[in-house]
Amino acid sequence: MAVSIDEDEELWSSLVEHRLKSRILDIRILDDQLSKVKANYVLNSLPVNVLIDPEGRIIDARAPTPSDPALLRLLATYALALHD
């Protein structure tokens, strides 16, 4: 899941359109919701990668970036690796 706080809706929409074939769920958070999300997930800076299991529990509040090989190891630890 990718969460965006982009103010530019057109830019965000074009990104979502570009990634439609991926398995990434794109969500946009508007200004009126941002403070609640920051408080609930203790976000002090952006961007941040959070690994959440299928039941919605936070596994790692500061997960590695998608390009970091450590993410695959973390996913394997929790048997969350993506399979085609």
Compute the half-sphere exposure of residue 74: CA atoms within 13 Å on the CB side of its CA: 19
- Examine residue 84 and state whether it is found in any structural domain, yes or no: no
Q: What is the pLDDT of residue 56?
A: 81
- Examine residue 83 and state whether it is found in any structural domain, yes or no: no
Which tokens in the block code for residue 75? 């996913």
Q: Is 50 helix (H, G, I), strand (E, B) or coil?
A: coil
- Examine residue 73 and state whether it is found in any structural domain, yes or no: yes
Q: What is the pLDDT of residue 75?
A: 85
Q: How confident is the model at residue 70 (pLDDT cuts 50, 70, 90)?
A: very high
Q: What is the pLDDT of residue 21?
A: 67
Q: How confident is the model at residue 84 (pLDDT cuts 50, 70, 90)?
A: very low
Domain holding 72, by residue range, is 2-77
Alpha-carbon dihedral sign for residues 66, 70, 73, 74: negative
* Sequence-ordered strand ranges (E) for 29-66: 51-52, 58-60
What does the alpha-carbon distance between residue 49 and residue 4 come to, in Å, rounded to a whole number?
12
How many folded domains does the chain comprise?
1
| pLDDT per position as a tens digit, 19-63 | 776 667 778 888 888 888 888 877 777 778 888 887 888 888 888
